[in-house]
């Protein structure tokens, strides 16, 4: 039976009634798709009790962003999680940020650059809410998607620096047949925009090929940016080949590397990344 709780105290009480075993957590913003459900299955492999949180976190959105429009389908989400999760934690904004809330978690290192250059508020919001969720549920493990690769590294940094006793597990990106990474924001795309969105992953694959053959990482990034404009993207925030462990700048493929990209089609901003 899947139980839904909305208060941190109720979450802790529900977890305290378990007889034994490990806890796995999957933090989400809801509008669940198969990518989210793959994370839940991953948590289930190693945990006896699986907690999924659904919370559209206001502090990780700028006032100009899509917090109000972000898809919310709690009823459908709960139906998808029935039998998959043991506990679904669906706090209100007031529960997570009660009146007078005055704490923020700031992460440096992998949080600097890339997403932060375009969404400076983003990782502060993510780090604060993830810290709060992990402290609330005290899971033994928590699963995050490689889809949000920089976020995954930020969460690892946060957990290491605060010595939170939780293992962070990375799950691979689930994609549509044409390579588009599943995302709740794909719901914003018109049929025409959806066709353009499907080209992002192929363009990154081509950039990986070019980087490998020429060894000129900047030229490969530049060609990918050009290809995105040509494919019909309306704005390219970045295409960057970076050190896969630190996201540091690199000039040669000597260590494991990652290509990361963010681009807009109309109002919809898409991100993707791949290993080199
Ligand atoms: P979100 O609800 O978008 O905040 O995502 C919640 C979690 O699901 C994050 O750890 C994401 O990285 C992960 N996730 C989102 N999309 C995918 C996907 N297509 N494949 C795998 N994981 C994903």
**Substitution candidate for ligand 1 out of 27, 31, 34, 36 with most atoms within 8 A of CB:** 36
- Mean pLDDT of the region 36-51: 97
Q: Is 201 in the pocket of ligand 1 (CB under 6 A)?
A: no
**Substitution candidate for ligand 1 out of 35, 90, 134, 260 with most atoms within 8 A of CB:** 35
Residue 19: what pLDDT?
80
Neighbouring CB atoms inside 10 A of 170's CB total 15
CA 200 / ligand 1 centre spacing (Å): 17
* 229 pLDDT above the threshold of 90: yes
Q: Percentage of the chain with pLDDT > 90?
A: 99
Residue 23 in contact with residue 140, Cβ under 8 Å? yes
Distance of alpha carbon 206 from alpha carbon 181, whole angstroms: 16
114: tokens are 């890339």
Return the residue whose CA atom lies nearest to atom 12 of ligand 1: 145
CA 35 / ligand 1 centre spacing (Å): 6
Distance of alpha carbon 175 from alpha carbon 48, whole angstroms: 28
Helix or strand or coil: residue 270? strand
CA 42 / ligand 1 centre spacing (Å): 13
The per-residue pLDDT for range 77-121, each reduced to its tens digit, is 999 999 999 999 999 999 999 999 999 999 999 999 999 999 999
The per-residue pLDDT for range 157-179, each reduced to its tens digit, is 999 999 999 999 999 999 999 99
Q: What is the mean pLDDT of the chain?
A: 97
Q: Is 28 in the pocket of ligand 1 (CB under 6 A)?
A: yes
CA 105 / ligand 1 centre spacing (Å): 21
Catalytic sites, residue numbers:
36
Return the residue whose CA atom lies nearest to atom 7 of ligand 1: 28
Q: Is 105 in the pocket of ligand 1 (CB under 6 A)?
A: no
Which residue, 127, 55, 142, 122, is CA-closest to 95?
Answer: 55
């Amino acid at each position: 039976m899947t139980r839904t709780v909305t208060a941190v105290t109720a979450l802790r009480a529900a977890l305290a009634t378990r007889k034994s075993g490990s806890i796995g957590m999957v933090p989400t913003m809801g509008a669940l798709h198969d990518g989210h459900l793959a994370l839940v299955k991953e948590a289930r492999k190693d945990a006896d009790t699986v907690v999924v949180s659904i919370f559209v976190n206001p502090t990780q959105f700028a006032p100009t962003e899509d917090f109000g429009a972000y898809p919310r389908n709690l009823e459908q989400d709960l139906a998808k999680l029935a039998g998959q999760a043991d506990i679904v934690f669906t706090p209100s904004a007031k529960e997570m940020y009660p009146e007078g809330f005055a704490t923020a978690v700031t992460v440096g290192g992998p949080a600097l650059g890339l997403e932060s250059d375009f969404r400076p508020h983003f990782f502060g919001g993510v780090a604060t809410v993830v810290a709060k969720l992990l402290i609330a549920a005290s899971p033994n493990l928590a699963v995050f998607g490689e889809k949000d690769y920089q976020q995954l590294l930020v969460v690892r940094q946060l957990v290491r620096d605060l010595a939170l006793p939780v293992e962070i597990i990375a799950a691979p990106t689930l994609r549509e047949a044409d390579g588009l990474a599943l995302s709740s924001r794909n719901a914003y795309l018109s049929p025409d925009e959806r066709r353009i969105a499907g080209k992002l992953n192929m363009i990154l694959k081509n950039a990986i090929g070019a980087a490998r053959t020429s060894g000129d990482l900047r030229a490969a990034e530049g060609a990918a940016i050009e290809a995105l404009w040509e494919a019909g993207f309306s704005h390219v925030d970045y295409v960057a080949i970076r050190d896969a462990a630190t996201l540091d700048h690199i000039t040669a493929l000597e260590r494991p590397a990652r290509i990361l990209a963010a681009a807009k089609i109309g109002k919809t901003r898409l991100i993707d990344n791949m290993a080199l």
